[in-house]
Amino acid sequence: MKVLVAGGAGYIGSHCVRQLLAAGHEPVVLDNFVYGHRAAIPAGVRLHEANLADAAALDRLFAAEKIDVVMHFAAYCYVGESVADPLKYYQNNFAAPLALLDAMLRHGVKKFVFSSTCATFGIPEKMPMTEDLPQAPINPYGQTKLDVENMLKAFARAYGLSFAAFRYFNAAGAAEDGSIGEDHEPETHLIPLAIGAAQGLRPALQVFGTDYPTPDGTCQRDYVHVDDLSRAHIAIFDKLATPGAQFFYNLGTGTPTSVKEVIRAVEKVTGLKVPVNYAPRRAGDPPALYADSGKARRELGWTPKFATIDAIVETAWRWHKAHPQGYGDRQR
């Protein structure tokens, strides 16, 4: 398949580009480098530098490349920022994919894979989380992702678009060969912050809340390796052959891991101490979020290869150890 990877220079997109190459597909990257990294794109992969909302640029792209499938990773991912500046999120996470879909349909491209999120569920009423739970996001980040899911449903019915929406839990880890990894600026995610604190490159880790109703009082999340996420995106290709088909999958390992357990894994894997400060709860953090990915296992044959937090942290450590400043292309 010739696959347009929108956001292919970002964290999950860049890992997916490598998995596509490994599986014998032809990725083409579309990125505007607001958050993406040029060094994350492998040599020889064609790059189109443009905004998704740039209709003329997308027309040129779709005229030049015979794209079979479009994958969309080009979203902003900061929950707190989405509350403070919702306009930015409705523009980039809703209006931009709308413009991309518009261009796709103008050019007869009708297969789409969407990066959605467990944040579309809000504060779920049961664990582990299956696909059929009610979706009630509690911030504009989750809302814009749900809005795109709903738009895709309407487009499937009306225009024969076939699509899959993957609701990621906590994407984590890095390429096994240490070549690419996680480099957000600003960084807000637990594992890179814990590793950076252990390396002495970042301040002591703030643990947000120790009074949650969980076994050790800290929040539990479901950390899932980026390469495992990427493999699900490729496993869906056959199913997208049916016009108007639509699929939703929750992607996680199914294992709840607490903040304290992540810290212990980082200390074990790195052999370093993570300096910690205990801080109040962060607004909007549910106590526990973990997936029931049985549907993806049954229907896609998807099994996470990185099944433990130690295995995930090992790959992250390989990247951070070799790249203490990340890609080195952003001011920290």
- Helix axes 140-159 and 96-106, enclosed angle (nearest 10): 20
Nearer to ligand UDP, 208 or 327 (CB): 208
Least distance to ligand UDP from the beta carbon of 135, Å? 16
Is-catalytic flag, 141?
Answer: yes
Subset of 38-77 contacting ligand UDP (CB under 6 A)? none
Least distance to ligand UDP from the beta carbon of 307, Å? 19
Verify binding: residue 259, ligand UDP, rule CB under 6 A. yes
Phi then psi for residue 29, to 5 deg, are -100, 135
Per CB under 6 A, the segment of 40-48, 51-59, 85-93, 205-213 that binds ligand UDP is 205-213
Least distance to ligand UDP from the beta carbon of 225, Å? 14
Figure out which of the listed residues 159, 177, 188, 211 binds ligand UDP, where binding follows CB under 6 A: 188
Subset of 282-301 contacting ligand UDP (CB under 6 A)? 282, 285
3-class secondary-structure state, position 102: helix
Count of CB atoms situated within 10 Å of the CB of 48: 18
* 160, 244 contact by CB (below 8 A): yes
Count of CB atoms situated within 10 Å of the CB of 23: 15
Q: How is residue 318 written in tokens?
A: 């390989």
- 11, 35, 76, 141: the active-site residue: 141
Per CB under 6 A, the segment of 11-19, 41-49, 160-168, 200-208 that binds ligand UDP is 200-208
Count of CB atoms situated within 10 Å of the CB of 231: 22
What value, to the nearest 5°, has the Cα angle with vertex 238 and ends 235 and 239? 95
Least distance to ligand UDP from the beta carbon of 94, Å? 19
Torsion 15-304-314-78 (CA) sign: positive
Place of tokens 């979706």: 135
Verify binding: residue 197, ligand UDP, rule CB under 6 A. no
- Catalytic residue positions? 141
Residues that bind ligand UDP (CB under 6 A): 170, 188-190, 193, 205-208, 219, 221, 259, 282, 285
